[in-house]
């Protein structure tokens, strides 16, 4: 089966060294992390959303290996059809010509982005959405001159009532 983008959600203990141990597992197994986002859920736990390109077999191995780490509370794959998947990007676009500046602003509005900084020769557009939407916006901005890009990586939640939870809390 071919490799495709896989999103893994993990609930982990929120303490020093956990990110190092999780990323170390990927390094030791020679799996590449496409993106990783981490944030606290409460004082004791954090949520990691890890994106990898993998086939079913590799994904199964990753989930099994992550589940064995002491600091990992729960692991699940989030299938795109059953999850809300988003990413945030800041894109700095060259806009020396006032007409082109207007075009960039119109494109940002079409993509439901917003201009968050204006400078004499550039704009910074903030855009949130699926990775494909962000890729499409960046591609469109190439004709104006993309000066710099910062992307957060994917964050996601399963649709419906299902949730990662700490058992016993």
Over residues 12-57, the pLDDT tens digits come to 999 999 999 999 999 988 888 999 999 999 999 999 999 999 888 8
Q: How far is residue 138's CA from residue 35's CA, in Å, rounded to a whole number? A: 18
Contacts of 128 (CB under 8 A, 6+ apart): 86, 87, 88, 89, 112, 113
Domain boundary among 46, 78, 110: 78
Shared-domain flag, residues 72 and 96: no
- pTM (predicted TM-score): 0.85
- Residue 78 CA to residue 85 CA, distance in Å, equals 9
**Domain assignment of residue 162, yes or no:** no
H-state helical runs in 45-130? 56-68, 98-110
Q: Looking at the structure, tell me whether residues 125 and 64 fall in a common domain.
A: no
Give 119-138 pLDDT, tens digit per residue.
Answer: 989 999 999 999 999 999 99
The pLDDT mean for the chain works out to: 92
Whether residue 17 is contained in a domain is answered as yes
- The pLDDT score that the predictor gives to residue 168 is 58
Write down which residue in 28, 51, 78 finishes a domain. Answer: 78
| Domain final position from 37, 58, 78 | 78
pLDDT at 167 over 80: no
Task: Report if residue 66 sits inside a domain.
Answer: yes
Q: What is the CATH number of the domain that holds 34?
A: 3.30.70.260
Q: Is the sign of the CA dihedral 107, 111, 112, 114 positive or negative? A: negative
Please give the Cα distance from 48 to 33 (Å, whole number). Answer: 12
Q: Which domain holds residue 139?
A: 84-155
Neighbour count for residue 58 (Cβ, 10 Å): 16
């Amino acid at each position: 089966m071919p490799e495709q983008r896989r999103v893994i959600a993990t609930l982990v203990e929120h303490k020093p060294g956990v990110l190092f141990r999780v990323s170390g597992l990927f390094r030791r197994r020679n799996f590449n992390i496409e993106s990783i986002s981490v944030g606290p859920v409460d004082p004791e736990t954090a949520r990691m959303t890890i994106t990898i390109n993998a086939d079913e077999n590799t994904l199964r191995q990753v989930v099994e290996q992550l589940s064995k780490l002491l600091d990992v509370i729960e692991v699940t794959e989030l299938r795109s059809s059953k999850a809300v998947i988003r990413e945030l990007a800041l894109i700095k676009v060259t806009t020396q010509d006032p007409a082109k500046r207007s075009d960039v602003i119109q494109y940002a509005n079409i993509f439901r982005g917003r201009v968050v900084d204006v400078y004499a020769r550039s704009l910074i557009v903030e855009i949130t959405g699926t990775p494909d939407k962000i890729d499409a916006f960046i591609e469109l901005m190439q004709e104006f001159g993309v000066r710099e890009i910062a992307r957060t990586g994917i964050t996601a939640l399963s649709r419906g009532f299902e949730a990662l939870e700490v058992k016993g809390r």
